Structures are given as C-alpha cells and as structure tokens.
Amino acid sequence: MVKWCGDSTPVCSLLLAWQLLSDTPVALAANRDERYDRPANGPRLLSADPRVLAPIDHTAGGTWIGVNEHGLVVALANRRDGPEGERSRGQLVRDLLGTDTSDEARTFLASLLAEHQYAGFHLLLVDPFDAFYATWDGTLDGIELHPGVHVLDNEGLDEDASISRDVRGRLEPSVGESADEWLKRATAMLADHDLGLCRHGDDFGTVSATRIAVHDKSDAFISFDYAGGPPCTTAFEDVTPEGHI
C-alpha cells in the first residue's frame, strides 16, 4: 500500500462508509499525500450557491476533497496512467461540487470531460442517496457503489485487493456503532504506518487528513474535521462554519 501520488491534488487513501451507519449515511476519512513543497490552505467556504467547504491547493487553485450544502461529497485520487491534462483535476472537483446530487455530478462530469483535457484520475461522487465511483484514463468508466465500506487509493477502487479486503473487514461497524466512533477507528487506520496509509518520505508524504460526515437532515447536517499534518501527529479540528454549512 506504500504508493506515491502524482503531481496534482490527490487524495491517496480514502475510507468510506456509505449507508451503513445509523443516522449518518456518508462518513469518510482521507489522507492527502503530496510533495512537501506543494502547500495548501485548510478548508474554507468556496462559494455561496451552493455553499461549498473544501481546502485549496496553492499551485492550481483546485481542491482534492470537499462537501457542499446538499451533502454531496467529491473526492479525487490521481491515476498513474492516462492522458496528459491541460486543466487541473482540482478544478474539476470544484466544478462538480457546484452540483446538487451525485447523479447530477455524474452527468456534469461527462460534459466536463468532453470540454477539457484532464490527466487520469479516480473519483468518488457521494451523497446520502447515491454513490458513484468514476475512473478516467482517456475513457470514462465507473460503477454505482453498494452500501458498505469502500477503500480508494491511487490504484483505484479494487475491492478484490488484499489490502482493501483487510481494511474493509477491520472497518465493518459493530452493532450500534456511531459515526463518531467509526470515524475515530478510521482515523487510527489512516495514522497506521504498518498498513502504509500514513507515509513519511524525504520529499513526499502525508501532509493532511480530512473527516467528513453527512448526517440525516438536522441543524448539524454536515460535519468537517481537518488535520493540517499527518494524522499520526496532528490533531483534527472541527472546521465546519458555525456548526453547519
């Protein structure tokens, strides 16, 4: 599982529980691995209609992960193969976060790929009701996700891979487990050096981590926690504006 990212805004390890936890249909935890000399700002509101909360990559002005006020989560990991891109994949994520639902984002994705050239990527489009995995290597492919635990990295969503089976098995929720409890267990896995999810190289490494939960409709519909460093040494902070988006 020790894999290095490409050159632009990747999420390199993403752990998702979809339609599995009571009252929280979307719960995910993700590490960003990147060059240490490629800075980013922590999460902030990027737009007002819809309201979008996401971190920002300094180099290209895009993002690798975010959520909007409708509960749509978009997260991207770079592929190692595929075409050259003339437009940032991080900008693609920002565009998709302007849609209302996973289905709408899926349709918009096809139009963006027809209009612009992007390097290869893996992508999750997830809301409380639909979840879709897309992959682009010059040809768009993808599958609808079933309820359960899913693991995405730079090799894609290979649910037959041994590391994926191991992680998914260890992250199966226990009876009555809350989203907070599950996310704490997922965070511990993101900080695990034996699994290789938390990485420390000379020039590359895990530079930040994110937790997002989309709950059933309530005053605190969405929660967003962010660690501005590797999760093995950096505490998460709740960065949700005013307790909600």
> Domain tally for the chain?
1
**Residue 7 forms part of a structural domain:** no
Q: What is the mean pLDDT of each run of 10 residues along the chain (245 residues)?
A: 38 89 96 92 92 93 95 93 88 97 98 96 97 96 96 84 84 94 97 91 93 83 96 96 73
In this prediction, residue 218 carries a pLDDT of 62
In this prediction, residue 195 carries a pLDDT of 86
CA–CA separation, 170 and 42 (whole Å): 29
**Residue 6 forms part of a structural domain:** no
**Residue 126 forms part of a structural domain:** yes
**Residue 2 forms part of a structural domain:** no
In this prediction, residue 81 carries a pLDDT of 79
Q: Which structural domain range is residue 166 located in?
A: 13-243
CATH code (residue 103):
3.60.60.10
CA–CA separation, 168 and 159 (whole Å): 9
**Residue 99 forms part of a structural domain:** yes
Instruction: Please state the pTM of the whole predicted model.
Output: 0.92
**Residue 3 forms part of a structural domain:** no
**Residue 4 forms part of a structural domain:** no
Alpha helices in 64-101 (DSSP H): 89-96
**Residue 43 forms part of a structural domain:** yes
